[in-house]
Structure 1
């Protein structure tokens, strides 16, 4: 890679920043372009579950002090899990005698805290308020990223890490079929206070809990507690939130007849209306569960639709993209493969992809291999991993919002 060349990373989310940290340590030129106007422009989500494979990837990507800080700010995890009858507030048994198995050891992180950590040391390498509208190939194999403000940036490789509604993906894989899983969710957090603990079902304040009502099969609640060892987690400049219950109220779109649950309708809901939606969906639930929604931090509540990439389309589109070796472009994380975030695997897979892409870009920078060769190999690894990922989300998707068989789902343009 020529000295003046650089990797253009579109999107300042977690996987894009993790990749950037690795490239900085390896002295591979890069720059990150984020459409939000600042790191604090909007709520960045709440609890994030990271598996051992993702931790191993982050250990390689991050400088040792930063990885050590990441371990320090991890929230405590409780073993096992609970299952509640939402109508009665009573504990009920798990089908099969126990909670669903987890894939490897889990690490809980607050998404906003993790993002602040990943931005450390990258202050001069991230530009905010840069919304990509497309890209163009330049002479000599370069690629130009074009932004809504009329500016452009030229680089050697363009990485789309710009999330579910990726502008890079729309141009790079224009024929990729994205399905509407019909799953919808309201995400929120409720601070753990003495008052809450005196009112809430104790299982909701004790790690993972799954709640549902027999008369409401299309709605369910997943929750987990986020608690920190304050002394261990104290890092200057990295604020740790108060302990909270993280919750996701999942439902299928036909659970609501009087609310606009289309993808566009949900995304546009302001926090206060999302909070009201959570109260509406749980209006018949027991008061020991309802208190979680009544005491929620309503200004941080959000509603989202769940999308699902169609597997055969994913495989064929990536194969076609690399067939003529023409574009120095690739994708990372949700930008590459939208999936319902119901199995706790999306972020972990994205971090694993980040380390794969990091190694490919280092080899390109060192002149060991060509850009087309390395990007094609990276895409092949992603395709191989996708089968496993999709298999692992089908059970949770059926459990959380009664997802229909894939062949019955319609496509959506995002």
Structure 2
């Protein structure tokens, strides 16, 4: 099969400008591998408020290999509570990062404007007849590259084109999930932070209702610290097993959250008070709990591959999705370096990446699925449940790509 190599006129095409796509861009930049990132959002994230957080724990060494030293050193600044990062109050075991805005802004630093293109909704790809691939976008434009990497999230268009529409769809796990972001004063937050300064979770043994609480931003992080009306942001999530339809209205969704907090003997009073205090006009987000256990796709000579949630959509109950995505990036970037240097063919490089990633990710998806089920049935929780068992460890947690 004819191959091409990465050049400025034939770059690596990365579909998706989220955490994984931008981390891959940074890793390729370190290796002088030409690339372009295509993101469907119209502009870079700019809102200073939080929306979702991610935990980075066992993949921290891998993340370090993907970023310039100065950029990795700045990671603490996009923790949901930068002060904890500076004092290392978390003992260095994990980082809890703002994924919605600040994290992506940081990972985009140092990337040339023409390397990250916004407002580009990917619709399809085709072989270009010269060993490469041509990506097509909703505005009718087409871009040629030496290969295409899908980093476009859990509902990945690249994945569905690669393995087929039906086979590429995420699979519902059988759980409902509602979440809110709330603003709180320091006094309102104090009883919750006394439980844990960053996050805690639990499940009611009688009702099976699962809860998650986490800090999303502090006055320092959200910019309100310089004014009299400073505030914190927190995330409150509730989930339960079932396939019932979640109502569309905010009022009805919020009623479900408050009902869950009161059901049976109710949640602990501290958490129940926080839920009862949620304003009636708060936006309530429904998250579809679904996953996609990684399967092998028909080899295409390394022209197209997947990474991050596109390669292994999983539930959030083990907090491992971003860690696997970052590990993907470290391994893939190393293999692409070897390809560019002529030490491997593209097919060999991508094949080695997929041979490591696919079995690792497949197991991770199934463990996260079981963790979701176990989280709502704590009376039958076993010591070896994926919900509480040790998270992934790698013989080589990061692949050194800066040499």
TM-score by length of 1: 0.75
Matched, 1:55 2:44: no
Which residue does 2:390 correspond to in 1?
none
Which residue does 2:181 correspond to in 1?
189
Label 1:11 to 1:79 Cα distance change in 2 as closer, same or farther (>3 A). Answer: closer
Task: Give me the whole-angstrom Cα distance separating, in 1, the residues matched to 2:46 and 2:215.
Answer: 25
Judge conservation of contact 2:27–2:67 (CA < 8 Å) in 1: yes
Which residue does 1:396 correspond to in 2?
371
Task: Give me the whole-angstrom Cα distance separating, in 2, the residues matched to 1:342 and 1:9.
Answer: 28
Which residue does 1:100 correspond to in 2?
none
Judge conservation of contact 1:190–1:293 (CA < 8 Å) in 2: no
Judge conservation of contact 2:179–2:286 (CA < 8 Å) in 1: yes
Deviation digits for residues 234-255 of structure 1, max 9, x if unmatched?
A: 9xxxxxx95443332122234x
Matched, 1:105 2:97: no
Task: Give me the whole-angstrom Cα distance separating, in 2, the residues matched to 1:187 and 1:223.
Answer: 10
Count of equivalent residues: 353
Q: Following superposition of structure 1 onto structure 2, how do residues 14-413 of structure 1 map, counting pairs within 5 Å?
A: 14-40=19-45, 45-52=51-58, 54-74=59-79, 75=81, 76=84, 105-111=93-99, 112-122=101-111, 123-174=113-164, 175-176=167-168, 178-197=170-189, 204=195, 206-217=197-208, 219-225=209-215, 230=220, 243-254=232-243, 256=244, 260-261=245-246, 275=254, 277-282=256-261, 284=263, 285=266, 288-296=270-278, 301-310=284-293, 314-315=294-295, 318=296, 320-322=297-299, 325-326=300-301, 328-390=303-365, 392-402=367-377
Task: Give me the whole-angstrom Cα distance separating, in 2, the residues matched to 1:402 and 1:350.
Answer: 28
Task: Give me the whole-angstrom Cα distance separating, in 1, the residues matched to 2:72 and 2:249.
Answer: 35
SS at match of 2:9: coil
Label 1:197 to 1:72 Cα distance change in 2 as closer, same or farther (>3 A). Answer: closer
SS at match of 2:152: coil
SS at match of 1:339: coil
Which residue does 2:387 correspond to in 1?
none
Q: CA deviation at 1:63?
A: 1.1
Judge conservation of contact 1:275–1:293 (CA < 8 Å) in 2: no
Judge conservation of contact 2:62–2:326 (CA < 8 Å) in 1: yes
Task: Give me the whole-angstrom Cα distance separating, in 2, the residues matched to 1:272 and 1:78.
Answer: 38
Which residue does 1:83 correspond to in 2?
none
SS at match of 1:191: strand
Q: CA deviation at 1:226?
A: 5.2
Task: Give me the whole-angstrom Cα distance separating, in 2, the residues matched to 1:213 and 1:140.
Answer: 59
Label 1:136 to 1:327 Cα distance change in 2 as closer, same or farther (>3 A). Answer: farther
Q: Following superposition of structure 1 onto structure 2, how do residues 1-12 of structure 1 map, counting pairs within 5 Å?
A: 1=5, 2-12=7-17
What 5-or-longer segments of structure 2 have no aligned partner?
Answer: 224-229, 379-403
Q: CA deviation at 1:327?
A: 5.4
Q: CA deviation at 1:331?
A: 0.4
Task: Give me the whole-angstrom Cα distance separating, in 1, the residues matched to 2:325 and 2:338.
Answer: 20
